[in-house]
Structure 1
Amino acid sequence: MKIQAAITPAANAPFTLAEVELDAPRPDEVLVRIVGAGLCHTDLVAAEGMMPIALPAVLGHEGAGVVEQVGAQVTKVQPGDAVAITFTSCGHCPRCASHEPAYCHAMGQLNFTGLRADGSRSLVAGGQRISGSFFGQSSFATHALASERNVVKVAPGVPLEIAGTLGCGVQTGAGAIMRSLQCPAGSSLLITGGGAVGLSAVMGAVIQGCAHVVVLEPNAARREMALSLGATLAIDPRAEADWVAAVRAVLPTGVDFMLDTSGIPAVIERVPQLLAPKGTFGFVGVPPAHAADLALPGTLREAMRSGFTYRGIIEGDSDPDTFIPQLMALYLQGRFPFDRLVTTYPLADINRAVAEQQQGLCIKPVLLP
């Protein structure tokens, strides 16, 4: 079928809206009419040519919409169902069997290559096959193909156009606190970076009952948002000559937990100065390419002496079929207001959305076909 999609034609090139041909759903696939798709930093990393997906490609991996057609093998959803689309997984490796699909053995192949599991491409543009199936969806478009494993029904009362943000960035931040680190009530937490992931972590920390939630973020509007969502302190690293000392002034023995969403080497290198004994450092931020060889902070001796734990986190350790419905239920209870992070844009204005996100004028852009 012919659809409209935002194509990434080449590395670092602007997105281009164009007509492309999308395959009909195979027996194990679900055709979704996209109502909204979140714009995530991972999309921009892919658009810079820093991921395995070959360009040109249709990106987008936080889609939500209405099921229009299902393959013969699909039983989880039916036409007319409202769904959010998340990352995909194989369903049969040891990690999937233990309900840890974020660590699926085929995570890279299924989500980052732009190919189906069998190596085929689902999109045609200009008479040639181009990459799709990004995170099992490619939702910067009017329609996308997904599978049973990466669609989750959207609860009534949850705004469908923004529900897709739960599928990656929001569940990564909230899940890092609620699932990966499992911060207990009364604990202290430092979050470095106040974007959508970091602010979702703030909301997760409030739900967990953390006593101290400190956010390090240079953007004033995002600091204000962090405080309004429940952070107990927001620090501007540009205004504090020694921001580590500012954290220590409030928490003299250090923080129990630290979550980095920034990927900034100068931040990551300060971790040993911030953690309390037996503290845990969780990281979802990816350092820039020139810092690819950055070692995790602290030597083995330092980690052993203080009992530190360094914890890499993917997708907030989410099992989407259970965690996304949990977040939706919390939203409906008024306890997880992720909608406050969102600014919507027409899909045709995707390049403006990218620019305004990079300028700090919005937190979580959502594109509306």
Structure 2
Amino acid sequence: MNVKAAVVYAPGDEYELSNLKLAELQPDEVLVKIVASGMCMSDETIRKGQTSVAFPVVLGHEGAGIIEQVGNAVKKFKVGDQVAMSYAYCGNCPSCQTGHPAVCNDWMKLNFLGVRDDGSHTFYTEDDAPVKNFYGHSSFATHTLVHENNLTKVDADVDLRLVGPLGCGFLTGSGTVINGLKPKVGSSIAVFGTGAVGLAAMMAAKLEGCSTIIAVDIHDSRLEIAKSLGATHTINSQVEDPIAKIAEITANQGVNYAVDTTGVAPVIKSALASLARGGVIAPIAVSTNKTELNITSELMLGSKSIIGVVMGDSVPQLSIPQLVKFYKEGRFPFDQLVKFYPFEDINQAAKDSTSGSVIKPILIMDESYTAPGN
């Protein structure tokens, strides 16, 4: 079938809406009509050519839609199901079998090589030239083919325009706190960078019972949003030294936990220096930057730890419904962070996200979709 997709033909190019051909459905796949897709800073990192992902490629990995066709080997889904899409994993390796599919042995192959497990492509130009996919589904398209492992069924009363970002950005931020740091009730945490991932981490810290939640950013507008979502303190690091301010807030003890979503080396160093003795930091930005540390003075003597957390160490099929539940209860109000854009305005949405004027752009592929209750 023919679909419309936002293709990046070469590193640094803008998105170009193109007519592509979709390959035939394989037995373990479903055909999804995409209603909407969030935009993530990871998409921008790849679009700019800062990773090893090959071009041309259809990006997007925060999609939500409705299943229109099901392969004969698919067991968990049926036509008409509403689904959110997340990362691909094999389901068979030791990591997957022990509940950590975000570190699947085949993670890079399934999510970044841009082809199916058998090496075939899902997208082709009208001249039959192959186009790479991303995260096993490529949600910057009107339709896509997806392995059932990428999918999470969501309730029929959920607004599909909203839930796509639960598959990556909001999943990563919240999961980093809930599954990675596992903060103790009454503990303190600082979140460096209050974009979508950072604010999700901050909301999760509130859910987990942290009593001191410090938001650090350079945008006053985002810090105001952080206050409304549970931050007990905010720091504009262009105006105040975050290390000194965090020391003041914590009576010179430092915070028990820190999350860095910036990937900027000096910011990571500040976050590490702001930790209390025995504190833990999770740097989770997708970045090519390098950070140099003195292991003895910056880690060992303070008994501090750095942990790696991919995709919030979340199992999407468990975590996405949990986040939807928290949202319905008013405890994870991520809808306050989004702005909708028509699909054809994808380049403007990307610019607004990069500038910081919009926290989470969401592209609407299906303008005819009507949210439940409307």
Output the TM-score relative to the length of structure 1.
0.96
Deviations 1:284-332 (A, max 9, x none): 0133x4x3x433x341454222211110110000011111111111111
Rounded Cα–Cα distance in structure 2 between residues aligned with 1:116 and 1:211: 45
Counterparts in 2 of 1:68-217, with a 5 A limit?
A: 68-217=68-217
CA RMSD of aligned residues (A): 1.2
Asked if structure 2 preserves the Cα contact closer than 8 Å seen for 1:57 and 1:130, the reply is no
> Residues 130 and 298 (structure 1 numbering): CA distance in 2 closer, same or farther, change over 3 Å?
farther
What's the secondary structure of 2:129's corresponding residue? Answer: strand
**1:131: Cα distance to partner?**
3.2
Counterparts in 2 of 1:1-369, with a 5 A limit?
A: 1-240=1-240, 242-251=241-250, 252-287=252-287, 289=288, 291=289, 293-295=290-292, 297-300=293-296, 302-369=298-365
Rounded Cα–Cα distance in structure 2 between residues aligned with 1:171 and 1:336: 12
**1:114: Cα distance to partner?**
0.9
Of 61-70 and 329-338, more deviation after overlay is shown by 329-338
What's the secondary structure of 1:239's corresponding residue? Answer: coil
Of 256-265 and 327-336, more deviation after overlay is shown by 327-336
**1:53: Cα distance to partner?**
2.1
The code of the aligned residue for 2:106 comes to A
What's the secondary structure of 1:50's corresponding residue? Answer: coil
Deviations 1:213-253 (A, max 9, x none): 1011111111111110001111111111x221011110121
Rounded Cα–Cα distance in structure 2 between residues aligned with 1:343 and 1:177: 25
What's the secondary structure of 1:136's corresponding residue? Answer: coil
Deviations 1:194-229 (A, max 9, x none): 000000011101100100010111111111111100
What's the secondary structure of 1:259's corresponding residue? Answer: strand
What's the secondary structure of 1:270's corresponding residue? Answer: helix
* Structure 1 unpaired stretches of 5+: none
Rounded Cα–Cα distance in structure 1 between residues aligned with 2:296 and 2:244: 24
Asked if structure 2 preserves the Cα contact closer than 8 Å seen for 1:51 and 1:112, the reply is no
Asked if structure 2 preserves the Cα contact closer than 8 Å seen for 1:54 and 1:131, the reply is no
Of 151-160 and 208-217, more deviation after overlay is shown by 151-160
Asked if structure 1 preserves the Cα contact closer than 8 Å seen for 2:257 and 2:280, the reply is yes
Of 275-284 and 126-135, more deviation after overlay is shown by 126-135
Seq. identity, % = 40
How many residue pairs match? The answer is 364
Asked if structure 1 preserves the Cα contact closer than 8 Å seen for 2:273 and 2:298, the reply is no
Output the TM-score relative to the length of structure 2.
0.95
Rounded Cα–Cα distance in structure 1 between residues aligned with 2:268 and 2:297: 17
The code of the aligned residue for 1:294 comes to T
**1:49: Cα distance to partner?**
1.5
The code of the aligned residue for 1:158 comes to V
The code of the aligned residue for 2:322 comes to Q
Rounded Cα–Cα distance in structure 2 between residues aligned with 1:302 and 1:15: 42
**1:356: Cα distance to partner?**
1.0
What's the secondary structure of 1:216's corresponding residue? Answer: strand
* Structure 2 unpaired stretches of 5+: 366-374
Asked if structure 1 preserves the Cα contact closer than 8 Å seen for 2:57 and 2:133, the reply is no
Asked if structure 2 preserves the Cα contact closer than 8 Å seen for 1:83 and 1:152, the reply is yes
The code of the aligned residue for 2:99 comes to H
Deviations 1:238-277 (A, max 9, x none): 111x221011110121010000000011111224421101
